[in-house]
Structure 1
Amino acid sequence: MKNRTTQLNVEIETMEQNTDLYANNPLIHKDRRLGQASSEWVRSFGCEDLKPLIVCRGPIRKEAMDVYEEMGITHYGILLSEKDSIVYPNALSPELKQLTDNSRVHRVPDYSGASKEERVERIQQIIDTAHDNGYDSVFAGYGFMAEDDEFVAAIEDAGLKFIGPCSGTQRAAGKKDEAKRTALEVNVSVTPGIDNVTARTLLKKHKTRDQLLALAKAEDLSVDDDGKMSLEELADVVLFASYDKGIDLFSIEELCAQVEAECADMFKNYPGARIRLKAIGGGGGKGQRILGASLLMNKQPSDKQVAEAAADAPGLVREILNEVKANGVGDNKNVLIELNIEQTRHNEIQLLGNGKWAIALGGRDCSLQMHEQKLLEISVTQEALTAEIEKAKKAKNKAQQKALESDLKVLKAMEEQSERFGAAVGLDSASTFECIVDGDRHYFMEVNTRIQVEHRVTELVYSLKFVNPDDKNDFFIVESLVEAMALLAMHKERLPKPERIPRFGAAAEARLNATDCSLSPSAGGYIRYWSKPIEGEIRDDQGICIPNPDTNQFMRYHLAGAYDSNIALLLTKGEDRIDSYNHLSTVLRRTVLRGSNLATNLEFHYGLCNWFIGNNVMAKPTTRFVVPYLTLVGKLKEEALKLDIVFAFLSMKKHYAKQYADDADAAKAVSETLDRKGTLLTRPMEKLLNDPHLLSGWLSLNKKNFEIKNGKVVWLRNPLVILEETYEYLNMTWREDAPAAEVIWTHDRDLLNNALEFYAQLREKFGFEKEEFVKLNDILGKAKPQGGYDADTWAKIQAAHVGYEIGNELLGLLCMVAEKTDFYDLKVEEDLEVTIPDYLHDPELQAAMKKVLVPPPATKADEIVTPGGGMYYAQEAPGMPPFVTEGMHFDKGQPLFILEVMKMFNKVPAPFSGTIDKILIEGGDGTIVQKGQPLFKVTPDEKFVEVDPKELAKQKQAITGEYLKAVL
């Protein structure tokens, strides 16, 4: 797989050249231009004649362009939306730097349209564009209409190829309700729940077969009843006929009432659990809500408690339908009602098929997610797990070995079931079989009938070997799923079932998103600078970091947020998982983004990545990990804000001045030594204390480097070595081309290097192969000269040791922040399970720490402002009453409005109780608002009391003084 937007480490080519697979065989073909192969059989699979229209955005659009060019496809076009972040009027689309033929660049107002009518119009527009410009196929990537069976059917009916699963597969597997029914038919494990609430809603009004048939006749619906269908199956047939005609047979209110009743029954049948509501056509976390938080762990809820919990369902159903735009007349409004498996991991299997065969290409662990959107994805393969099991055996770690063996067993079962499911639905392209894993069990969740955002994770661990059935030495290699999809679109049934060939042992992908420190979407900013990719980094960024070819200047990138928050996909690979994590940590550390009003999750990823490196990268976090983790990071920030590092340093100087009060020369020497070390110590400490995500990673990496005895920090490694590693961790090592503010200062660098060289010479002298700081420190504390040194030299060595180490105690303040927040109580156990302290699940604490991480915008005491930029909605759904009106009293936590940011609908709660005096926003639903924009004039129930800054400073100094007792 060649890198498309930047560079891919040459290790890939080197590794492949060194394998037997490619050893001097003239029949082997790895070049993507199959039509130029020496083998007649390989040439027959050439795709140079394919003429695709790319109707997607983001990194996948640029990737498809690159792959098609590498395949020798010369006639392809792209579709640009006027709402896209990097299309006029905001900036030039980066793809236009590559595709300079304007006749192959086509524009639409919006990819899928804001309504059903617009969607139908857009589909026809895409078909007309293809026909008018000589395209014979359509590639929809992983967004918009990639999983829309009506769109795919329209493409097929127009005589075009769809580069993706056909409409039949889309119908059988793409809709979550249909997929679940198919899974049940082929003995695939599924989550308990209800997949036909719309049919049940219809049967609530028309209870018998005769009544259903009478309804169909009255509405002139084409329904064939063979008398063998169940009532619910017949109801579904009637409903699908109504969708074709574009009419509704029940109201949204009737649907909501049915969902509420079904939820109440499920709460009774599964006491102590929550329920997940899912739109059948959602994706990327959209169209999903969870209810029943008040009943969680309550094994004997009362009827009243059940009714109160179920009463939230109607509002959530409306939100879901709005979010996936399925609230129009004639839309399929079915919603899955499923038991929410609480402590679960989210695993998925990459599938590929040609309609006859289906092959699984390993798994990906996508458990690290928030708002149902994935953040960090890790490869899971049988080969990698087998290797880790052997490591655990050698280490005699039976608990970890058993946990990994369980994972291997589950992975094999998921792969086997995915292939069975793929064959059942006639899968003829790339899709993903998604499951939730609970211990040693798994449940099928859904199938994404498209290529996934994280597909490159799979490409890095497996390639595909297509072999001539008549000659096993005649074959070609495919390393790109985008390429495989094009091959399938052209040759489908002719393609033999491939063999999966391991490439790298592990791969990881971090999604770089436009979100703030609490992972809330943050639209509206501009990227004005982005550092170049480093060696080993695979960056899929749509090409936005490529400079303008005319000016060689970086083109600003506007995070408009019309579609989603993703900026780039950062991938790494390695021999095993720890290797890939270490590479990812390096990439994240070396990535520099600058801009205006810019917020990303870069620091979050860096902290999280190093949390796992410091604990165990083979850990089994669940989908409920990120929010408690963020809450703990918020506690770190809350505690760190209490410290005044400058005051701490000055207090430390005073402490030593008292110690050496009887020796003026010594006191002066100590004072001068501390002054020389001041910025060496305080600069990285201030950076860590000012960013809790960085602090989280640092504390995780250093958890075994110190201990606390009798309330005092005791270093188990030399603090100077840790300080050197800290500068590296913060990307502050000396670089000639870097601004002074971003790196260690030269005098600090020289001091640190001299100190490290001093200890290196002593280690060599005393024969220490490792650092052995505790032993070395004990030796240097002996009055009698050691190591053959004379008394005078020994005294100088001891004095130098004191000078180099004095003041380093200050680093211990960081360790005490961990101690005060119980940071290390969030941990990975021997069996790889993650222990999350119960208090981190407290919703009130989570909300409070979210505000600590990202304080609300500055506002007057009599105003309520928007927490971020986005699209304002005053009501839950069209036709519903507004959340608040002038003169209305509101309670703390009550929804005031909806803010749509990057396609996610967020109800914004009242931060306090009060009365709406005046609604300030002009314009109706869909009005664009900016962060901090006043929306309401209010009278709070309680007056706000501002804290005196001088008093706050005194409090910080007092707390810092208490902290110092643990390090001095």
Structure 2
Amino acid sequence: MSNDYYLNNPLIHQQRRLAGHSSEWVQSFSCTHMKPLIICRGPIRKEAMDVFEEMGIEHYGILLSEKDSIVYQNALAPELRQLTDPDRVHRVPDYTGVDKEERDVRIRQIIKIAKDNGYNAIFTGYGFMAEDENMVSAMEQAGLNFIGPCSRTVHDAGLKDEAKRTALKVGVSVTPGIDNATAITLLKKHSDEQALLALAEEQQLPLKRDAFDAAETLADKADIVLAASYDKGVDLYSIDELAATIAEQVVVMGRDYPQNRIRLKCIGGGGGKGQRILPNPSSFDGDLDKQLAQVAELAPSLVLEILNEVKATGQGDNKNVLIELNIETTRHQEIQVIGNGDWTLAMGGRDCSLQMHEQKLLEVSVTAEDLEAALTEAVKAGRDNEAQILKQDIETLLEMERQSEVFGQAVGLDSVSTFECIVDRDKHFFMEMNTRIQVEHRVTELCYALKFINPNNHSEFFVVNSLVEAMVLLAAHGSRLPKPERLLRHNASVEARLNATNHALAPHAGGVIEHWSDAREGEIRDDQGISMHNPDTDVFMKYHLAGAYDSNIALLLTVGNERRDSYERLAEILRTTELRGKDLATNLEFHYGLVNWFLGNNINARPTTRFIVPYLTAVGLLKQQANDFDLKHAYQQVCAKALTGLRSNDEKAAMQQVLARKELLLTRPIERLFADPHILAGWLSINQDNFRFDAAAKSPQITWLANPVRVLKETYHFLNMDFNPHSPAATMIWDHDDEVLTQAIAFYDELERRLDCSDFTELNALLAAKTAPQGIDAEQWLAIQSAHIGYQAGCDILSLLPYIAMVTDFYALNVADDLSINIPERLTDEALQNKMAKVLVPPPVAKSDEILAPTGGMFYACEAPGLPPFVEVGSHFEAGQPLYIIEVMKMFNKVNAPFAGTIEKVLVKDDGTIISKGQPLFKITPDEIVIEETAEERQARVEKQTSAYLAAI
């Protein structure tokens, strides 16, 4: 299945042909009168186009940003391969604008485009415009039907401070914190009701006096004055004053929760933007007061970063920043909720804990049906701790669903939104409601459909599988739609976000996709049309990942009867996906390794949001060890060891011939695994039961519990290197090697049948016997033993793989009986994490007097316009000190100095300059000269490693 999955689903066809339905009631919900303008981009735009066409909506159009279509060669929005009518494509400089003024201009421009071209509705998808209250309100006032939550819901739920206050009023559990830093700041300057009223009069604010008088607290009154100032577009406080308040409140919260870090979060952020986490007080010296003072000192600069990132530094912008307790062991879960203003319905959950830098990577469905099945299996297997956790998860899910419906009612939800929570074992806290459809919405809609039944005639109904379709229905017929029933489609689903990132998961812009294999059976691929072939030539069309927007390339989804099914199907999709191009870096291999890590450990594991960075560190340690091996040298040593003990020259000559023939058969897959540590991590995870470490021996020993020949066969399959006469030789097992391996597998199949023994340890013991077993004569037995020796010859080289896991203690990162993940303390060490990130992605080779750009992007010398640069000519900098900011795919990354030194020359003249990976940015004089390892020293180190490995086998 690909994007056509929804188009080929008979239930959808049944619902979407409403106009031809025999029931007048069903026909009345036709949406063919809707004429939407799509003002978002990426996979959701392509999905909306497909859904609209299936619904019979023929008149729709799209915005096309110049960044999407003009700046880069081959970056033309791939959706244009489907929408070829130029009159329905409307060009704008950007989708949202860089600041409030430009956003207002864009809103007016969108309204004009809609009016001039006959559109009567607006669809914003999951872009930030979808949660812009001013934009939604402007569309409503212009008479356009907004396909999404109304402006009242966006205001009450979308602004994080308002949402928390509403949640508290209706009994929804919230994260401890302070949500009114702006009100506190204002009251420091105007400390009573009379002073606030005088300020409103002085600034001629459009104050809602009735609401002001009715407000119960002085802080609430301050909030009403602030709301009036935002309406007028004036500032009543400066960013510096706000930052000072936040620094003070950080100290207040720190005294209440000294063991926790504190999160700063802009009320208008989302998608990982607009939030930062302050260090733990314990990371500083001194008593608690001194520690908190040092934490608070960092807050003002982070506040500025946050406001810059969400573009909320303009005159009259609401700059409120929430100060929240950071729940350290948090799992990020969310509930999909839908409503029409009168009723609300929860549609199950999603676990989005597998994320990095607040960016989600792998999203998994959480359904009561799947949890119940997992609970039954755990109880049956006697896994009591696991069963207890699963039982608690069911209770938590049901309570989160209930609270999502209560909160949805409170904010008048009249479309699709997401109720986001953090879960800490048996507790959960509401974070925010995203008043838009989410990137991962299909994880939910693949599990549940919606059945709308005529309340006056239960034989009349229609079924909706698509949440985009549900949004259109709600926009067109919301008040008439009865509360639907939730229909189970699949117990489980999972989504991997395929991003343009390197092996350390840092954004990597600029690559060109030159080949992408077609979606396979069972794959749902949302890629905005990138993998569509030329309709005339059926040739894949190159696509430039320009980096003007986010790093997402595609969403890859699968379903299953249980979570393991969905993961196994996703692993198979990732195994067979071929994605190649120029300067192309994606997280495809990361996902393949990660999915297999869970398959090899426990598919029901409960990772927290802290898991990915330690996991990457463990993967980096694997790569560091792999880099220290000379595979050819190691195989030579294995061969030398295999020849010891052979007496005759004929035996040695025969063995040498066998070992020489098998060298590439055995080393090619190892070489491939060494080259990609993410895939190596996946291989080690699913193969951990195939060998044993004997730590009690004089030197640690590795013993194979599975036949290495069978493991080798499975490894070729794992690497998608199965023999295929139509594939390039470089990507598969060679024909003569495949012949040897096939003969070996056939030999062991027959031997195990005749000896009635499939256990490799027992089989080895039987084959060591001098006397032939019953039914096999002595001569034949000798031939069998010789064949076994020949097929096993050289297989000791495969022990290199578990050896690397053993010396890096890879398996210490594992799943406990209670489904939590044991993270070794060393993997949380920030210095080691940074070091391993550089092992995974070595920085560009630089001269000793240069600092180079680690990636392409947009260069900024200072934290915000008007502020001094981080460094300038003559500045001395310390290791870890910020040098500059680079914006890559919407994310602002502060780059710190890798070592100490002095700036001699700044090589980038202007802020906003596009830089490329490896480009020199500064000429410097380092404090210390780094002495590089010589070739002789490296060779000695490699030989030492090889000797240690040989001792282990």
TM bin (shorter chain): over 0.9
Identity %: 59
CA distance in 1, matches of 2:549, 2:941: 45
1:652 deviates by 1.4
Larger deviation: 887-896 or 28-37?
28-37
Residue of structure 2 aligned with 1:101, choices 85, 89, 94: 85
Instruction: Determine whether 1:904 maps to 2:928.
Output: no
Note if contact 1:30-1:476 (Cα within 8 Å) is conserved in structure 2: yes
Look up the match of 1:273: 260
Q: Write the letter of the residue equivalent to 1:965.
A: A
Note if contact 2:284-2:294 (Cα within 8 Å) is conserved in structure 1: no
Partner SS, residue 797 of structure 1: helix
Instruction: Determine whether 1:715 maps to 2:701.
Output: no
Q: Write the letter of the residue equivalent to 1:676.
A: R
Residue of structure 2 aligned with 1:683, choices 668, 671, 688: 668
Unaligned segments of structure 1, at least 5 residues: 17-27
Matching of residues 878-897 of structure 1 within 5 Å: 878-897=865-884
Note if contact 1:51-1:76 (Cα within 8 Å) is conserved in structure 2: yes
Note if contact 2:504-2:840 (Cα within 8 Å) is conserved in structure 1: yes
CA distance in 2, matches of 1:781, 1:38: 77
Partner SS, residue 845 of structure 2: coil
Evaluate the alpha carbon distance shift between residue 329 and residue 4 of structure 1 in structure 2; reply closer, same or farther with a 3 A threshold.
farther
Q: Write the letter of the residue equivalent to 1:831.
A: D
Note if contact 1:357-1:423 (Cα within 8 Å) is conserved in structure 2: yes
Instruction: Determine whether 1:802 maps to 2:789.
Output: yes
Instruction: Determine whether 1:426 maps to 2:412.
Output: yes
1:7 deviates by 5.0
Q: Deviations over 1:878-897 (max 9, x none)?
A: 12111001011111110000
Note if contact 1:81-1:87 (Cα within 8 Å) is conserved in structure 2: no
Partner SS, residue 898 of structure 1: strand
Q: Deviations over 1:814-856 (max 9, x none)?
A: 1010110110100001111111011111111111111111111
Look up the match of 2:3: 5
Instruction: Determine whether 1:865 maps to 2:863.
Output: no
Q: Deviations over 1:303-341 (max 9, x none)?
A: 111101111000000000000000111100000100000
Q: Write the letter of the residue equivalent to 1:52.
A: P
Look up the match of 1:626: 612
Partner SS, residue 965 of structure 1: helix
Residue of structure 1 aligned with 2:41, choices 35, 53, 57: 57
Look up the match of 1:734: 723
Note if contact 2:596-2:683 (Cα within 8 Å) is conserved in structure 1: yes
Look up the match of 1:575: 561
CA distance in 2, matches of 1:882, 1:339: 32
Q: Write the letter of the residue equivalent to 1:33.
A: R
Matching of residues 749-760 of structure 1 within 5 Å: 749-760=738-749
Note if contact 2:338-2:346 (Cα within 8 Å) is conserved in structure 1: yes
Partner SS, residue 311 of structure 1: helix
Residue of structure 1 aligned with 2:524, choices 538, 553, 568: 538
1:397 deviates by 1.2
Q: Deviations over 1:551-571 (max 9, x none)?
A: 433222111211111000000
Residue of structure 1 aligned with 2:683, choices 684, 688, 698: 698
Look up the match of 1:400: 386
Look up the match of 1:833: 820
Look up the match of 1:671: 656
Evaluate the alpha carbon distance shift between residue 228 and residue 817 of structure 1 in structure 2; reply closer, same or farther with a 3 A threshold.
closer
CA distance in 2, matches of 1:295, 1:559: 42
CA distance in 2, matches of 1:350, 1:700: 32
Look up the match of 1:168: 152
Look up the match of 1:480: 466
Q: Deviations over 1:558-591 (max 9, x none)?
A: 1121111100000011111000000000111111
Larger deviation: 857-866 or 648-657?
648-657
Note if contact 1:271-1:301 (Cα within 8 Å) is conserved in structure 2: no
Note if contact 2:177-2:324 (Cα within 8 Å) is conserved in structure 1: yes
Look up the match of 2:213: 226
Unaligned segments of structure 2, at least 5 residues: none
Residue of structure 2 aligned with 1:654, choices 640, 646, 658: 640
Q: Deviations over 1:481-514 (max 9, x none)?
A: 0000000000001001000111112100000001
Note if contact 2:522-2:569 (Cα within 8 Å) is conserved in structure 1: yes
- Regions of 4+ moved over 4 Å: 6-10, 85-89
Note if contact 1:85-1:562 (Cα within 8 Å) is conserved in structure 2: no
Look up the match of 2:107: 123
CA distance in 1, matches of 2:266, 2:364: 26
Q: Deviations over 1:574-615 (max 9, x none)?
A: 111000000000111111111111111111111100000000
Matching of residues 453-602 of structure 1 within 5 Å: 453-602=439-588
Note if contact 1:872-1:926 (Cα within 8 Å) is conserved in structure 2: yes
Q: Write the letter of the residue equivalent to 1:5.
A: N
1:913 deviates by 0.5
1:777 deviates by 1.6
Look up the match of 1:21: none
Note if contact 2:329-2:424 (Cα within 8 Å) is conserved in structure 1: yes
CA distance in 2, matches of 1:424, 1:170: 12
Larger deviation: 95-104 or 412-421?
95-104
**Aligned-residue CA RMSD in angstroms?**
1.5
CA distance in 1, matches of 2:101, 2:7: 47
Residue of structure 2 aligned with 1:195, choices 179, 196, 207: 179
1:49 deviates by 1.1
Residue of structure 2 aligned with 1:257, choices 209, 229, 244: 244
Instruction: Determine whether 1:934 maps to 2:917.
Output: no
Partner SS, residue 365 of structure 1: strand
Instruction: Determine whether 1:313 maps to 2:311.
Output: no
Look up the match of 1:959: 945
1:86 deviates by 8.2
Note if contact 1:136-1:161 (Cα within 8 Å) is conserved in structure 2: yes
Partner SS, residue 684 of structure 1: helix
1:36 deviates by 1.8
Residue of structure 1 aligned with 2:225, choices 234, 238, 242: 238
Q: Write the letter of the residue equivalent to 2:36.
A: P
Note if contact 1:656-1:667 (Cα within 8 Å) is conserved in structure 2: no
1:916 deviates by 0.4
Q: Write the letter of the residue equivalent to 1:655.
A: K
1:164 deviates by 0.3
CA distance in 2, matches of 1:184, 1:775: 64
CA distance in 2, matches of 1:951, 1:553: 50
1:958 deviates by 2.4
1:227 deviates by 5.6
CA distance in 1, matches of 2:719, 2:25: 54
1:951 deviates by 2.9
1:4 deviates by 6.3
Note if contact 1:273-1:297 (Cα within 8 Å) is conserved in structure 2: no
Partner SS, residue 859 of structure 2: strand
CA distance in 2, matches of 1:33, 1:570: 28
1:62 deviates by 0.2
CA distance in 2, matches of 1:567, 1:332: 32
Larger deviation: 840-849 or 368-377?
840-849
Partner SS, residue 76 of structure 2: coil
Q: Write the letter of the residue equivalent to 1:358.
A: T
CA distance in 2, matches of 1:455, 1:537: 16
1:454 deviates by 0.3
CA distance in 2, matches of 1:646, 1:353: 64
Q: Deviations over 1:183-228 (max 9, x none)?
A: 0010000000001100101111111111111111100012213264
1:548 deviates by 2.2
Partner SS, residue 453 of structure 1: coil
Partner SS, residue 128 of structure 2: coil
Q: Deviations over 1:755-774 (max 9, x none)?
A: 00011111211234xx3211
Instruction: Determine whether 1:363 maps to 2:352.
Output: no
CA distance in 2, matches of 1:628, 1:366: 17
Note if contact 1:524-1:559 (Cα within 8 Å) is conserved in structure 2: yes
1:302 deviates by 2.5
Look up the match of 2:864: 877
Evaluate the alpha carbon distance shift between residue 85 and residue 849 of structure 1 in structure 2; reply closer, same or farther with a 3 A threshold.
farther
Matching of residues 780-859 of structure 1 within 5 Å: 780-859=767-846
1:961 deviates by 2.1
